[in-house]
């Protein structure tokens, strides 16, 4: 094959500069190429064989650091040495989120096309803070997020930007809410203004509380609304709380609806909440960080009915859309609201294109912007709309199958509905005292996790310790689910008699 770049060798250890000193610079091509090939081989084999690793890292705190030199080497080291240490010293400290039996928290996949996109983005190392910083960063982000918006069935007016995490996306959304609903705060801050209030269900993610604190409203700035038996926010309770706060002279600003809460993946009745937000002229933010991708599946779309009335929506492709962490999308119905909250352009960042092209630095706290859309675009292109729908549908099917096993097995109890792909349950054999149930279930979790074959996590619902299993990894097959259920039952028997 004709590979003219082979001949270029832009730098090599033997090269001298015009003063007769060795050329410094980066790793030379003759080292880089074999190293890159070795890494590419390792990555391919890792992704293919990740199921062979113990899913939960078995190291003890401090063990990884204890095996590594305390100081930087004076002389640079060959890549082979560090790559060997990566494999032998660092990999044991990895909990394998890409493992097919990773069922903890939210099960995710950094899919192969996404990993390839990430590798290329790292090589380009561009910063899309302003459009000219790399036009492709702004423009591919706009395009990929329009594709995703259409896939999820959101109206064309929504425009997105990519952030690192949903925690940042929600913070920015609530900052836009503050700007829109409490514009006086921009200049003078919150001092002297009536207390601002946001409303979210008692099941909302802690990132909402963090955002409210960070924006200066304090913990009193968030009021938690009770939920029904399925852990969904009660609209009448929301209305009552808003009225009460208005009566007390507070300033209601916004409502956060969660479509896929963290503990149980419950879905707040967003259409009703949107009606209430409108009635009181409040911002509506939708946290669909986990659940959002399911809107791609027609039969799941009704769960989202009404989300198009939101002012802002967060969806995390790095959760259930096969994109390597980090990639969180914030959709705004009116992106200008976000720009108003964050645009402050010093002279040295002024560019001639700023009136005709978006500068991503204007849509959040961060100035620098990674080329995150490349991995997302690769994922969307590689799997296609149908491939994504089918994969999400299969995860939901697996979760419902697991739920049906739990429902059908005496001694086991499901503790929440399963709208998506996460199942919350516990082992609750008859005549076991409630306090004992918590101990038994914690022990079941610890025991199955110790096997190294799977990793599950827990939550606490209405004071009860629950086991929690999330499906969402592209490599999870029915055999993995069968084995997980077998191990859970085996360890339940052992924990009961312990």
Minimum gap (Å) between residue 159 Cβ and ligand PLP: 20
Q: Which is nearer to ligand PLP, 134 or 203 (CB)?
A: 203
Q: Is 263 in the site for ligand PLP (CB under 6 A)?
A: no
Q: Which is nearer to ligand PLP, 152 or 437 (CB)?
A: 152
From the list 141, 179, 272, 287, which residue makes contact with ligand PLP (rule: CB under 6 A)? 287
Is 303 in contact with 259 (CB distance < 8 Å)?
A: yes
Q: Is 137 in the site for ligand PLP (CB under 6 A)?
A: no
- Report helix, strand or coil for 346: coil
Taking CA atoms, 56 is separated from 73, 294, 349, in Å, by 31, 27, 45
Q: Which stretch binds ligand PLP (CB under 6 A): 283-291, 362-370, 379-387, 437-445?
A: 283-291
In the DSSP assignment, the letter for residue 260 is S
Question: What is 352-407 written as a DSSP string?
Answer: TTTTTS--GGGGSS-S----THHHHHHHHHHHHHHHHHHHHHHHHHHHHHHHHHHH
Q: Is 106 in the site for ligand PLP (CB under 6 A)?
A: yes
Is 160 in contact with 329 (CB distance < 8 Å)?
A: yes
Q: Is 312 in the site for ligand PLP (CB under 6 A)?
A: no
Q: Which stretch binds ligand PLP (CB under 6 A): 136-144, 218-226, 253-261, 267-275?
A: 253-261
Max alpha carbon distance in the chain (Å)? 86
Minimum gap (Å) between residue 147 Cβ and ligand PLP: 21
Total residues interacting with ligand PLP, rule: CB under 6 A: 15
Q: Which is nearer to ligand PLP, 234 or 313 (CB)?
A: 313
Residues 6+ apart with CB under 8 A from 151: 295, 296, 380, 385, 388
Do β-strands 422-427 and 464-470 pair in parallel, antiparallel, or remain unpaired?
A: antiparallel
Q: Which is nearer to ligand PLP, 108 or 492 (CB)?
A: 108
Is 459 in contact with 424 (CB distance < 8 Å)?
A: yes
- Tallying the residues shown for the chain, one arrives at 498
Q: Which stretch binds ligand PLP (CB under 6 A): 75-83, 107-115, 286-294, 346-354?
A: 286-294
Q: Which is nearer to ligand PLP, 138 or 265 (CB)?
A: 265
From the list 137, 238, 284, 289, which residue makes contact with ligand PLP (rule: CB under 6 A)? 289
Q: 326: cis peptide before it, omega within 30°?
A: yes
Minimum gap (Å) between residue 233 Cβ and ligand PLP: 13
| Cα–Cα distance for residue pair 136/121, rounded to 1 Å | 11
Minimum gap (Å) between residue 206 Cβ and ligand PLP: 8
Question: Which residues 419-478 are close enough to bind ligand PLP by CB under 6 A?
Answer: none
- Report helix, strand or coil for 287: strand
Task: Give the contact letters, 155-194, x = binds to ligand PLP (CB under 6 A), - = no.
Answer: ----------xxx---------------------------
* Contact positions vs ligand PLP (CB under 6 A): 106, 165-167, 205, 207, 258, 260-262, 287, 289-290, 316, 328
């Amino acid at each position: 094959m004709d590979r003219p770049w082979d001949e270029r060798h832009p730098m090599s250890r033997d090269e001298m500069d015009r003063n007769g000193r060795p050329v410094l610079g980066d790793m030379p091509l003759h080292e880089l190429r074999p190293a890159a090939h070795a890494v590419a081989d390792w990555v391919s084999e890792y992704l293919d064989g990740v199921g062979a690793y113990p899913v939960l890292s078995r190291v003890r705190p401090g063990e990884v650091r204890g095996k590594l030199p305390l100081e930087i080497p004076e002389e640079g080291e060959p890549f082979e040495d560090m790559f060997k240490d990566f494999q032998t010293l660092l990999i044991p400290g990895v909990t394998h989120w890409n493992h097919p039996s990773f069922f903890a928290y939210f099960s995710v996949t950094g899919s192969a096309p996404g990993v390839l996109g990430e590798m290329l983005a790292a090589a380009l190392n561009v910063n899309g803070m302003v459009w000219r910083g790399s036009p492709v960063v702004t423009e591919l982000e706009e395009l990929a997020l329009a594709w995703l918006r259409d896939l999820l069935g959101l109206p064309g007016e929504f425009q997105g930007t990519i952030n690192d995490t949903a925690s940042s996306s929600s913070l920015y959304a609530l900052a836009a809410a503050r700007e829109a609903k409490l514009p006086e705060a921009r200049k003078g801050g919150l001092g002297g203004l009536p207390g601002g209030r946001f409303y979210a269900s008692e099941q909302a993610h802690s990132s909402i509380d963090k955002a409210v604190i960070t924006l200066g409203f304090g913990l009193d700035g968030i009021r938690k609304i009770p939920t029904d038996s399925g852990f969904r926010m009660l609209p009448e309770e929301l209305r009552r709380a808003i009225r009460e706060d208005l009566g007390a002279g507070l300033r209601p600003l916004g409502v956060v609806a969660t479509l896929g809460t963290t503990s149980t993946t419950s879905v707040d009745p967003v259409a009703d909440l949107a009606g209430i937000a409108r009635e009181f002229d409040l911002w509506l933010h939708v946290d669909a960080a986990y659940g959002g991708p399911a809107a791609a599946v027609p039969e799941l779309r009704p769960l989202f009915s009404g989300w198009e009335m939101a002012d802002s929506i967060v969806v995390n492709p790095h959760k259930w859309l096969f994109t390597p962490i980090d990639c969180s999308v914030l959709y705004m119905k009116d992106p200008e609201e976000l720009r108003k909250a964050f645009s402050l352009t010093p002279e040295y960042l002024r560019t001639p294109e700023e009136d005709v092209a978006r500068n991503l630095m204007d849509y959040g706290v961060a100035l620098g912007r990674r080329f995150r859309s490349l991995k997302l675009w690769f994922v969307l292109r590689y799997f296609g709309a149908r491939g994504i729908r089918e994969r999400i549908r299969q995860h939901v099917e697996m979760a419902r199958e697991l739920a049906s096993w739990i429902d059908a097995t005496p001694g086991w109890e499901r503790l929440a509905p399963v709208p998506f792909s996460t199942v919350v349950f516990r082992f609750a054999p008859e005549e076991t005292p409630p306090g004992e149930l918590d101990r038994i279930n914690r022990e079941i979790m610890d025991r199955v996790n110790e096997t190294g074959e799977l990793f599950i996590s827990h939550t606490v619902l209405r004071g009860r310790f629950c086991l929690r299993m999330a499906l969402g990894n592209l490599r999870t097959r029915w055999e993995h689910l069968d084995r997980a259920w077998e191990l859970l039952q085996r360890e339940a028997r052992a924990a009961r008699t312990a």
